Amino acid sequence: MAGVAKFGRLEDGLFALVNGGGGTTDIGAFNLFRTSDGRRMPIFNASVEMLGAEPARLCDDDPALYEAFKEALMMQARAVIWGARQKYPMSPRWTDLLPVFFIGGGLAHPQHQRLAERIGPWLRQNLPGSRGARVVKRPDFGGVEHRSGPDGAHRLCVAAGPSLPEDEIPEVIPPRAIDAPAQQIHLQAEMIGPEQV
């Protein structure tokens, strides 16, 4: 996430990140914002599952396994995004396009490409007022020299994030430190109060 925040040239706001790797798919939802003393990045929800490109490839020849894998991958994404919605319901991104950053070497597999196509329609269907998702596949490295071609540059975010100087890594607030806001209950004044007796 730190590499995406730095090299993705991201504006402040809510983001989802899908890192499709060889063995696992890592999905997170975070808010990026600037403060007077730097950038902060509360991570509202995250998940790591053995749903990477190699497990997907092992399911390719069995239609039942292929469908089960497809649903498991979508369930992982839904759980992370919906969990972030519970913790940060006031984000304007819920009624706009939620940017979903796709990175990682496993993204070449059709299952992961299909996931990118399915998140937007799912948001529109299940979240009133949502315009869906905006898939972000290529970071803008803005002057940083690298030898990756345009289709492989996104992988640098994963490698470069941990190597950034400490003052360039946003302060992370982990999901367990963020509570969902208390539900407000609006009751009609239909009871008789002591002043009416």
Say whether 59 sits in a helix, a strand or coil. Answer: helix
pLDDT at residue 156 in the model: 47
Predicted confidence (pLDDT) at residue 60 exceeds the cutoff of 60: yes
pLDDT of residue 45 exceeding 50:
yes
Q: What is the mean pLDDT of residues 179-193?
A: 53
Sign of torsion over alpha carbons 174, 177, 180, 184: negative
CA angle 138, 140, 146 (to 5 degrees): 95
Question: Helices marked H in 99-188 — which ranges?
Answer: 110-126, 154-160
At 152 the three-state DSSP class reads coil
pLDDT per residue over 1-35, tens digit each? 656 665 555 678 899 989 888 899 999 998 887 77
What residue segments make up the domains of the chain, in order of their start? 2-196
CB 164 within 8 A of CB 8: no
d(CA 158, CA 5): 11
* C-alpha 107 chain-centroid distance: 15
Record the pTM.
Answer: 0.74
Mean pLDDT of the chain: 77
Give the CATH class of 2-196: alpha beta
Each residue of 158-169: b (16+ CB within 10 Å) or e? bebbeeeeeeeb
Name the band, by pLDDT with cuts 50, 70 and 90, for residue 70: very high
Are 181 and 28 contacting, i.e. CB atoms less than 8 angstroms apart? no
Residues above pLDDT 70, as percent of the chain: 62
Classify residue 19 by burial, with Cβ atoms within 10 Å: 0-12, 13-18, 19+.
buried
CA-wise closest residue to 74 among 27, 137, 108: 27
